Structure 1
Amino acid sequence: MVQNKQFVLQGASDEEFLVDISYSNGLNSKGVIIFCHGFKGFKDWGCWQLIADYFVENGFSFLKFNFSHNGMGVAQSDDFTHLDKFAVNTLGKEMEDIQSVEHFLVNEISKVLPEVNTNKIFIIGHSKGGVSALLYCTQYQTKISKVVTWASPFDFHRNWSSKFIEKWKADGIQYIKNARTNQMMPLQLEILEDMETNKEKYDLRNCTKKLDIPYLIVQGTDDAAVKMEEFNLLKKHFTKAKTHIIEAANHVFGGSHPYQEKELTEHTKELVAVTKAFL
């Protein structure tokens, strides 16, 4: 039986963020998976919990969390009520949050949940979360032994046109619309300045030789948010990575929010099956 326990951790800029771990009392021999959500995402989006349940039923524990600056507080919610945090989120902050999660698993989880096997730690990143996961695995001392990206871009900042950036600099702020909530989500100038300061650090081309753990890239062919060109760039530069293409799958592999079905979509079933086999 799948069980779930929540925790509050401290991450980037000393901000608190919400974590939950799905596990079983007797079936955790294969290790623990850290799951990183994407841009404008959150840990309880759509079918992420059903995916967590799938991995627990197949011998893993599954930890998902809200990035500390994803726009939410520590209340259990799917509302972006802290847009001031979203407005200053960076890839660097997300890496700090992943570090907090790994530290919790390595040093603290055994005291409160001895059922969770931390001898093997894996990481999965969806969309922008994939970029953060890859950067973390190549820039931090880590015990993570395998990394998987689902629909991850090669360059998260690829869609920021020169016109978009010019207006951003002129106004001191830019906005991204959230199609689900209809919120105009702010991006402070701090994000742009961080991107320009850390351009080399955030460039995945500079990480390829540093990645010394197995890597799986999964991509859907009908992804409107992250095109196949992004997958091809990941494949080109991470030459040792394994790859899997899901025909006709979109950016969320058929999922939606809220997700009220009791079973995963066919595309998501393929997604989790190929990921389980890799891990």
Structure 2
Amino acid sequence: MNFKAIWEDPKELDEKYPAMVQGVDFNSNGSEIMGIMHVAQGIGPHKTIILLHGFPGYEQNFDLAHVLLRSGYNVLIFHYRGSWGSKGDYSINHVLEDVESSIDFLKSRFSRESYRVDGENIILIGHSLGGFSALMTAANHAEIKSVGCIAGFNFGLYGENISKNNFLIDSAIKKWEKAVIPLNGITVENFMESIIENKYKWNLLNIAESLKTHSILMIGAKKDIIAPIDEHYMPLVKALKKQGIHLKEVILDGNHSFSAKRIALAKEVLIWLQEQEIESHTLNQ
């Protein structure tokens, strides 16, 4: 693994198969999804990371995408239905469907030929809502072995907690009301209703057993006030450990977006990916 990719450009460039960044679009249940494909240099095919952003998408982790690109990975970042130019209506159900559609897109012949994608080697990494979505999706995809959850937000557990009384629900609505402004087809009231309605289905603690065959990276932020580690990180780590899952756990001294710890965040992700490469090489010998 080239850790210099965090702060240094590649020494050698492939003029025939250069690195590139291109706008892409794909269909998700009838809606056009807009995204950005980072294609690593070299003939490939390249392992490809789906880098899922959070809610509503202010932090999209493009700095991390370019570090991964320089390290030899393709990276797809896309905008969920009803957000940032993607068509359709926003909802968590639609977010989960859109992640499924992005996997289908990467496994297509078009992606293989156009973006040098190795459809058999897809990695899911997500931040906040994206971390939640990465784990929820991986539970249904045994073939996607590596999953990263960065400051993941456990929406199901949150729904269970706020559903205890109307005061907590009203407080949650006030807390989230401005966050839905950039999103289409959603109100803060129906957003909260969906979280409460799906509180058991979307509780990551309840799907830990379905992640047994995966290798998981969990990164928490000590100063996180949006997804506090005592509520969202620690219980999930405990549940995953109980299942004997191959788990790497890291807590950084940062906030929810790791604003002052972007280099440390990139380093931890690269270390984990290197460990995946070594383990895969060992198993294939």
Question: 1:121 Cα shift?
Answer: 0.6
Decide whether the 8 Å contact of 1:27 with 1:57 is kept in 2: no
Decide whether the 8 Å contact of 2:45 with 2:118 is kept in 1: yes
* Cα distance in 1 for residues equivalent to 2:26 and 2:99: 11
- What is the DSSP-based 3-state SS (H/G/I as helix, E as strand, rest coil) of the residue aligned with 2:145? strand
- Residue aligning to 1:154: 154
Pairing 1:53–2:57 present:
no
**Could you say which structure has the higher helix fraction?**
2
- What is the DSSP-based 3-state SS (H/G/I as helix, E as strand, rest coil) of the residue aligned with 1:35? strand
* Cα distance in 2 for residues equivalent to 1:228 and 1:168: 18
- Residue aligning to 1:228: 229
Q: What amino acid is the match of 1:62?
A: V
* Cα distance in 1 for residues equivalent to 2:209 and 2:251: 27
Q: What amino acid is the match of 2:238?
A: K
TM-score (ref. length: structure 1): 0.76
Distance 1:134 1:247, change over 3 A: closer
Residue pairs, 1:110-189, within 5 angstroms: 110=111, 112-113=113-114, 115-138=116-139, 140-141=140-141, 143-155=143-155, 158=158, 160=162, 162=165, 163-165=167-169, 176-178=177-179, 187-189=187-189
Pairing 1:2–2:19 present:
yes
- Note the aligned Cα RMSD (angstroms): 3.2
* Cα distance in 2 for residues equivalent to 1:109 and 1:62: 16
* Cα distance in 1 for residues equivalent to 2:24 and 2:62: 16
- Residue aligning to 2:265: 268
Question: 1:194 Cα shift?
Answer: 3.1
- Between the two proteins, the alignment pairs up a number of residues equal to 248
* Cα distance in 2 for residues equivalent to 1:56 and 1:27: 14
Gaps of 5+ in 2: 1-17, 277-285
- Residue aligning to 1:98: 99
User: Structure 1 residues 158-167 or 220-229, which shifts more?
Assistant: 158-167
TM-score (ref. length: structure 2): 0.74
* Cα distance in 2 for residues equivalent to 1:36 and 1:8: 15
Quote the sequence identity (%). 21
